[in-house]
Amino acid sequence: MTKGKILVVDDEENIRGSLKEILVDEGYEVSIAEDGETALRMIQSEAPDLVLLDVWIPGIDGIQTLKLLKKMDSNTEVVMMSGHGAVDTAVKATKLGAYDFIEKPFSLDTVLRKASEALQNKRGRAQGGGAVGEEVFTENWFIGSSENAAQVNAFLRKASNSVEPALICGESGLGKRFAARLIHERSKRRNEPFTEISCDTTSVQDFDALLFGKHSENSDDNHMSDSRRTTLAGSGTIFFDKLDSLSIKSQRKLFKALDRGIRDPKSSGGSLNARIIASSDSIIRSDSVENNIIKGFVGLFSGMTINITPLRQRREDIKDLVSKFVGDFGVVYGKHIETIDKKFLDVISSSPLPGNTVELYNIVEMAILSCQGATLTLDHLAPTDHEKQTGYAKSSKNTAIAEVSGTADKTARTRKAARRTSKNTVYQRTLRNSVVLCGQGLHSGIKTGIILSPLPPNSGIVFWDISSGGKVSGLLDFVRSTEYATTLSHGDVTIKTVEHLMSALHSYHIANLLVKIGDEAPIMDGSSLDFCKIIEDGGIKEQDAVVERIALDKVISVGDPDDGPYLAVEPTDNFSISYFLDYPPPIGKQEHVYTHKSGEHYRRTIAPARTFGFLKDIKKLEEAGLASGGKLSNVILIDNEKVVNTPLRFPNEPARHKILDLIGDLYLLGRPINGHFIAKRSGHTQNIALIKKISKHINSGKHEPES
């Protein structure tokens, strides 16, 4: 027997591999996942005893994964991990049900000790809990009001209080795997292993090895440990997923071993004493050889078989499922959906949903992501892949979907035409995939990080405090401070030092993005190079929505053009900046002219320029409780004579960094702008002052953008 099943969730491959090796050597059975979505699927299918969960993972972050995990199975222990955490994050994780929180880099002894303590805590709860049986399994897992939903819930209760073999039948996407795991978790064997065998991907040789340890030269499981085989032949539960995909030869061997174990539980030599649950994509109707399942199995499961009907045959359940998923995704994405429009429900209820519950789940998720208000409407509903392939959305059977699809097609054509006729109209962009970057705050010194995740069109740049779940948009209205850096604030949420990230997003024209973050963006090496890299790593996706560049009709300025600081913009048909720096030695007079061509051009010419500061100013910041993160590696330090800590990347690197900051602050307008900016010794304060003037001008009604 293994000491317990552990799932390691971390986006860093070396950490996943190291933890798995360490824990396997100690006798644990270990699985790994690199993101939250994968982890949640594995938790459903594998039912681990303990999850080691990193906070900073792409997509569904660690805190959200913890919330959903605990909703799925509150008995699973979780130890959170982070090399870029804070006290408030650790406290929140504990309140949400995490057993403990460990900080990276961690020692071998710490990991093993926490794993042992967490598993011991779980066993203690199980031993001290109430009796396992009907009282434990009182909720309805199978959502819906249909007769079949009631039958499935009754079956789950019956199966959880039995040791008989159970068979769950139905099409793909109905949750058969999760039902099997649920039966095990509510049974008297819940403290024993739950092992899944995917029959559709297991060869005859591998099947023999999995069950009886009989290896062949061609088997992929020759490395399997004795303890693993013991687990499979023990007193837990084995789930044979897609039993009807197993070869007839293997089915006969399994039936013989299972039948022998049932007749004589103490027998040995090819018998199985574990409780058996199986699934089939085919509906079983009689005691006969049909649908590729041998007659013996059909009879063996005759007393404990359930057929789950597809959603198209029980449409009255769809409304309940949609409500459940909306609630779940509200937690995941921080949305507060108060009402669901009747037309939205009508359209979904009449859709074919060939992917059943899984497809419905995905449809609702995409709708939630598109919704910015409190009501879910038809505007948030996209045609499914099946509808696009079959043309169902345009058929007379579903007028509402046809209207939505037709409107979308017309809108897309209009947008494309607009792009051809207006040089100022461009498509919005987001990322294709979620990405993670970890570092340290410049002023706070706190280990922090960011997760960048795609958002639907017209969402904008949204900063999400990973600890509190609060949000603030990356817009001018939420700027609260420009001293030393640009700070955004809304309610209880404050995000510092956003300009370097915003600069990269502006230059790559990323219009819609969710930025999960601590209270300060990581400074990295003081430049925006790392932000450019993760944008390119995530991949840029052009969306079917447009945005108008701001095009000015007059010169707008702030400050004194003779003495400075001074910042002005004059109308042009492109975006460029001329920056003039006039500081005492050793900086002296510097200038740089930047004309934007592409994100890649920005990455080469502006992004490498680092933050710079004078030693005398650093001391002032420290006295004010700031600059705790100022290190030789992330800022250019200058004394009265020279740069003291690093070779410059460009002779005029300080001037280029000022351009970098201005590009970032300008994106607080919410869209790109055309104009030639002339700057003299200006900084964040002048940047925001000019942006406010621009915003007031374009919203005054006196200005019309060029077409």
**CB contact burial 450-460 (16+ within 10 A = b; e otherwise):** bbbbbbbbebb
Helices (H), 53-132: 62-72, 87-95, 108-128
Show the beta-strand stretches assigned E in 583-649: 589-595, 612-614, 636-638
Catalytic residue among 184, 684, 697, 703: 684
Q: Check: CB of residue 310 under 8 Å from CB of residue 318.
A: no
Q: Check: CB of residue 241 under 8 Å from CB of residue 199.
A: yes
Amino acid at 509: H
d(CA 577, CA 506): 14
Helix (H) or strand (E) holding 229: helix 226-232
Tokens found for residue 386: 């099946």
Helices (H), 235-373: 248-263, 295-300, 318-333, 342-349, 356-370
Q: Is 684 an active-site residue? A: yes
**Terminal-to-terminal C-alpha distance of the chain:** 72
Q: Check: CB of residue 661 under 8 Å from CB of residue 688.
A: no
Q: How far is CA 506 from CA 248, 428, 553, 613, 664, in A?
A: 60, 11, 22, 24, 7
d(CA 157, CA 348): 30
d(CA 502, CA 691): 14
Show the beta-strand stretches assigned E in 20-178: 29-33, 50-54, 77-82, 100-103, 166-169
Tell how strand 425-431 and strand 540-548 pair up: antiparallel
Residue of 450, 452, 460, 459 whose CA lies nearest to 434: 452
For the CA atoms of the chain, what is the radius of gyration? 30
Going by the DSSP 8-state scheme, the letter that residue 57 receives in this structure is: -
Tokens found for residue 145: 């009001």
3-class SS of residue 132: coil
Q: Is 338 exposed, middle or buried (0-12, 13-18, 19+ CB in 10 A)?
A: exposed
Cis peptide before 651 (omega within 30 of 0): no
d(CA 659, CA 555): 19
d(CA 61, CA 55): 6
3-class SS of residue 402: helix
Catalytic annotation, residues: 684
